[in-house]
Amino acid sequence: MGTLLGFDYGTAKIGVAVGQTTTGSASPLVTLRAVQQKPDWQRIGRLIDEWQPEALVVGLPFDLDDRETEIAPLARRFARQLEGRYRLPVYMADERLTSQVARQELGRAAKNYEELDAMAAKLILETWLSEQR
């Protein structure tokens, strides 16, 4: 498939990562702040123009008991908006525990939550890539 962008959706911030299907790996890119409580569509568009992804992956938040969290409908809406705006395939990936794992991976290196959200997006993307192999 090629290059993918992954998103850790939140109402205030969205972590973004880039990954490759050939290597199955991903790297954190950036965390985008909401603009008037909406995704920063301009910056998302610039990232899509820059990376030319074949598809997009959005994290779907679940509780440990396999129920979707209260933000899951908003993440699904964000995924539909991405698909409608950019005419790219959008896949959903279970993002359970990605923030905790990101926190562990970053450890004391995490300067702020922006790094954490981008790292969570990386983990979401890597989870989806590993499930495709």
pLDDT at 107 (0 to 100): 60
- CATH number for the domain harbouring residue 97: 3.30.420.140
pLDDT at 61 (0 to 100): 87
Question: How far apart are the C-alpha atoms of 19 and 8, rounded to whole Å?
Answer: 14
pLDDT at 37 (0 to 100): 83
pLDDT at 82 (0 to 100): 98
Domain that residue 31 falls in: 3-132
Mean pLDDT across 100-122? 68
Q: Which residues does residue 69 pair with via DSSP β-bridges, in sequence order?
A: none
Mean pLDDT across 12-32? 94
pLDDT of 129 higher than 90: yes
Q: Put residue 31 in one of left, alpha, beta given phi > 0 → left and psi -120 to 50 → alpha.
A: beta
> How many structural domains does the chain have?
1
pTM across the whole model: 0.87
pLDDT in tens, 26-61: 999 999 998 888 999 999 999 999 999 999 999 998
pLDDT of 78 higher than 90: yes
Per cent of the chain over pLDDT 70 is 86
pLDDT at 85 (0 to 100): 97
Question: How far apart are the C-alpha atoms of 21 and 133, rounded to whole Å?
Answer: 9
For the chain, give the mean pLDDT. 87
pLDDT at 111 (0 to 100): 56
